[in-house]
Amino acid sequence: MFEKRAEAFVLIAPAALFSLAVFVAPVLALLSEGFHFEGHWSLQPLSAFFASSLNQAVFWRTLKIAALVTAAAAGLGYLAAQAIVDIKGGGKGRMVAMVVLPLMVSPVARTYAWIVILGRTGIVNRALIFVGLTDEPLRILFSETAIFIGLLQLLLPLMILSLIGALENLPRDAVAAARVLGANDLQIFVKIILPLTREGFAVGGTLVFAGSMTAYITPAVLGGAKVLMLETLLYQRVSIANDLVSAGVIASLLIVMSFAANLVMRRIAKARTA
């Protein structure tokens, strides 16, 4: 009954054409701006971009923070996900809801909460002074640390959700079997849990890494104009200098890095199925 290709075409054409026209074409056009110099294809804009030490710093900072956030999310994610999966009964649903909640709330709200918390008169500083660890309020805001914290809070739920799915699909007896054979917790984690939850980890990892690289509000608000990441740099270049060439270069870099992260993560997921 589902043989007429023409029917399928009619059903899928609107969505496909829409995506191509409204999204793919304009974005590709923008990307190509980063590879044109004086009327023809060239890598000149790319090398010019990296010639600037500011740009280089921004690039490496973006990568660094993304990697750190992913690592932290992985660590905390496993702990939290495992704790949730171990919960017996109805509490689990509520826990998952609490984890998912932040994803549903306006990013503006989220980021401003951090301003309040990390600011000079915010809780953290007040606590630190109170406890006596420092005499003067620390400048936590508008730093890489602030961005790191903000991004981690933003993206951790994604990792936790992915890992919950993976941990729940673990063959139930694998851990018990390992324990019977004498493995301790660390060994169990490294040899059993990690390999078997590869795919969930890969999905979560990609989401977190790509999310960190392409986040805008968090770096914009918590980093300010001094601590730029690639996206905030892009915005600045366009809104201040109307520099579309840089925009094209940066956009291309971001997309390539997202794809690369995706591929690496898929490779990790598929490598050596146990």
**Positions 129 through 188 that interact with another protein (CB under 8 A):** 152-153, 156-157, 160-161
Task: For residue 38, give both structure tokens.
Answer: 């004086």
Scan residues 22-51 and list those touching another protein (CB under 8 A). 22-27, 29-30
Q: What secondary structure letter does DSSP report for 22?
A: I
Shortest reach from residue 60's CB to another protein, in Å:
18
> Dihedral angle at the C-alpha atoms of 107, 159, 207, 235, nearest 10 degrees?
30
The DSSP element (H or E) to which 36 belongs, if any, is: strand 36-37
Scan residues 223-252 and list those touching another protein (CB under 8 A). 231, 234-235, 238, 244, 247, 251
Shortest reach from residue 171's CB to another protein, in Å:
20
Q: CA 270 to CA 265: how far, in whole Å? A: 9
CB closer to another protein, 247 vs 269 = 247
The DSSP element (H or E) to which 41 belongs, if any, is: strand 40-41
CB count in 10 Å sphere of residue 156: 21
Residues 196-215 as x/- pattern, contact with another protein by CB under 8 A: --------------x--xx-
CB closer to another protein, 7 vs 267 = 7
Half-sphere exposure of 52 toward its Cβ, with a 13 Å CA cutoff? Answer: 11
Shortest reach from residue 274's CB to another protein, in Å:
24
CB closer to another protein, 213 vs 227 = 213
CB closer to another protein, 78 vs 272 = 78
Scan residues 49-108 and list those touching another protein (CB under 8 A). 76, 79-80, 82-84, 86, 93, 95-102, 104-108
Task: For residue 272, give both structure tokens.
Answer: 């050596």
Nearest alpha carbon to residue 200 among 260, 154, 159, 153: 159
